[in-house]
Amino acid sequence: MTDYEMMYILRPDISEEVVQQEVTRYREFLEQYNAQDLTIKIWGKRRLAYPIGKFQDGIYVLVNYSADGKQVAPLERAMRLSEQVIRYMTLKLPAKKATAKDEVASVKELATAEA
């Protein structure tokens, strides 16, 4: 499984109810593709760095999950077709590297297991 981070920006003029519907829609979409470790954070309405269409603000939603990668293209297609989403981006996060601390801890665990 690969870790992904996705952020999408919803139109600022939609109601809180519609925001929740969109978040639920994309959560269920990811669950259909067996995404794991799914965390969703709604950052709320914020000023955009530059205007997108006629919008100066947007409602930001951050999603982190682990999946096999088959879900990225269909999910982005669904967002592209949605009238509520004004921008989206999915990033594949780098694999987690084992730190020296982790290696020392695993060596200690191995030593205690052998004793």
pLDDT in tens, 85-108: 999 999 998 877 655 555 566 656
With 80 as the cut, is the pLDDT of residue 39 above it?
yes
Number of domains present in the structure of the chain? 1
pLDDT digit string, tens, across residues 7-28? 999 999 999 999 999 999 999 9
- State the chain's mean pLDDT as an integer: 87
Output the CA–CA distances (angstroms, integers) from residue 45 to 7, 40, 51, 59, 79, in the order listed: 13, 15, 14, 4, 18
Hunting for tokens 């096999």 — which residue is that?
68
The helix/strand/coil state of 115 is coil
Sequence-ordered list of residues with C-beta below 8 angstroms from that of 88, at least 6 positions apart, any chain: 6, 7, 8, 9, 76, 79, 80
Domain that holds residue 90: 2-114
pLDDT recorded at residue 102:
57
Q: How confident is the model at residue 62 (pLDDT cuts 50, 70, 90)?
A: very high
Which CATH number fits the domain that encloses residue 24?
A: 3.30.70.60
